[in-house]
Structure 1
Amino acid sequence: MTRHTSERTEARALQRAEGIGYHEALDRIRAGEPRAAAGTVVATFTRENAWSLLWMLTVPGHGPYEKLRLEQHSWGAEAERDLDRALDVRGWQAASPLPADGPLPHTFTVPVRPTPRGERWKQRCRATARLYAEAGRGYHDIQEPYGAAVAAAIERAGLPVTDFWADAGEPRSIVITLQPESPADGGEDDDGEPRELLIIWTDAGAWQYAWMRPDGSNEYPDQLPDYPGPLALPEDVAEAVRTFLRRDPALPLERPDWQPSADYAPDARPYEAEEDDPDPDFERSLAAYLTHPDWLAQQQARQLWAADTARTDAPQRPGRA
């Protein structure tokens, strides 16, 4: 086979693999880009920005895989393990050796071939996509109903909650602000008032606490003693907070007339081992709180407030003469 015949054959293989024009494929082959052997495709890695560890992995015919994390900025044994892991959890493996050294460029390509694990990854993605569609919420805000239920349980435990919000950043989080009654709990601020206490949930580190400093920043979060578990029932979290603040445990803790579904998984992991994508069991357990009475009550209060605000702000019609 002549060199030109070999190039044309490889160009047609690249054309089929990536769905591009023949001449574009031929130009890329002649430019020395990675060539897709039988059963392989050329995957492209693109860094989010010059300082980021997050990359976009694109595999032709399979769509982009977002939020891929590579810890290393240079090639070497560690970067190769990082890349192999990232490909493996998505059902791919590198089909040729990686560069031995040098910095990772902003964009680079790697020939890859599919593995059986890819179908399992797709099934998990489809399951979470269906769950989000049914819930009317996405990955970044599906934790808010759970936070509302926990904040309400803490208030029923006799602990004053002054604020609550759900953060859609990475990792997702819930922050509940408490105002302790005594400086003995955590010291005083500049006005001699008890310092505020943050109760923090993240899908990476679960339940933590952090005292606010007088300058408005907070101390480094630490795990809540008597750790209640990543998706503990709201009353169990409230009990752990009450124990931490040395409140009277004999005070009965009222529980609403609500039970999660049978497939609720209080000890579910947010991500399966070494995988970057949400675990359907964890997301399904968060979605269970969309029917929780405390969340429904909060939603109703928001709607009434919005309607009242709209009436107040509406222009008044002039009266009849």
Structure 2
Amino acid sequence: MTTRTLPQDPYIEAIGDALTAAGLEPTDHSWTDDGETRGTYCYLNAVITLDPSGTLASDDEDAIDGAAWPHGLLLLWEWHTGVEADQGEPERGSFWQFAELKADGSNEYPSSLPVEGYASPAAVVEAARKVISREIGAGHFFNGGVPSWDGGTIGETWERHAELDAACEAWGNDEASE
């Protein structure tokens, strides 16, 4: 996690605690941040790295044969200001994605995780388990990262979603005023 406090920190911490309680402890390669692209498009994000196979390998030579997730799984959360939505960037608000890590540290094209943008920790755990078991398959770049899943949205929103949304909105408004 970052050393400065960001609006999403308590939420991502709650997600991490739920994953840990479910036996899916995030690795040390998990963090929250704020960022920008092209100097104008600001957003909040979080990356949670999981090692569901217990076989995290730094490269293909170290990978254990047959490991389902030899390099790990990323759970990605983002909140966007919507500033450049008219240019193909995401609309204002939050969403979850997942991606499989590759040996070189890059990842497959992220796919939508079928949960609410402010999903409850239990919903993220359930969705992560379905990704790990391959019930939810990765989407393809050419179909917009839509996962192979027809089970609808998983779970409920976080009980503190209004507080989180207000904090993200305040951050977005502050960014827009600078």
TM-score of the pair, normalised by structure 1:
0.32
Residue 45 (structure 2) aligned to one of 154, 173, 177: 173
Correspondence for 1:282: 165
Q: Secondary structure at the match of 1:168?
A: strand
Unaligned runs of 5+ in 1: 1-136, 248-258, 266-279, 288-321
> What does 1:23-34 correspond to in 2, within 5 Å?
none
Matched, 1:148 2:13: yes
Return the letter of the residue paired with 2:120.
Answer: L
Asked whether the 8 Å contact 1:209–1:221 carries over to 2, the reply is yes
Structure having the larger proportion of residues in helix: 1
Correspondence for 2:118: 231
**1:189 offset after TM fit, Å?**
3.4
Q: Secondary structure at the match of 1:190?
A: helix
Correspondence for 2:96: 207
**1:217 offset after TM fit, Å?**
1.3
**1:151 offset after TM fit, Å?**
1.2
Structure of greater Rg: 1
Name segments (4+ residues, structure 1) moved above 3 Å.
Answer: 284-287
Unaligned runs of 5+ in 2: 36-41, 65-69, 81-93, 135-157, 171-178
Q: Percent identity?
A: 39
Matched, 1:191 2:62: yes
Asked whether the 8 Å contact 1:146–1:286 carries over to 2, the reply is no
Return the letter of the residue paired with 1:220.
Answer: Y
Matched, 1:157 2:41: no
**1:245 offset after TM fit, Å?**
1.3
Structure 2: distance between partners of 1:286 and 1:149:
20
Coordinate RMSD, CA, aligned: 3.1
Return the letter of the residue paired with 2:32.
Answer: A
TM-score of the pair, normalised by structure 2:
0.55
Residue 106 (structure 2) aligned to one of 217, 224, 230: 217
> How many correspondences in the alignment?
116
Instruction: Give CA-to-partner distance per residue, 1:50-84, whole Å, 9 cap, x none.
Output: xxxxxxxxxxxxxxxxxxxxxxxxxxxxxxxxxxx
Return the letter of the residue paired with 1:196.
Answer: G
**Structure 1 residues 281 and 236: CA distance shift in structure 2, 3 A:** closer
Structure 2: distance between partners of 1:199 and 1:281:
18
Name the structure, 1 or 2, with higher relative contact order (CA <8 Å, separation 6+): 2
**Structure 1 residues 181 and 230: CA distance shift in structure 2, 3 A:** same
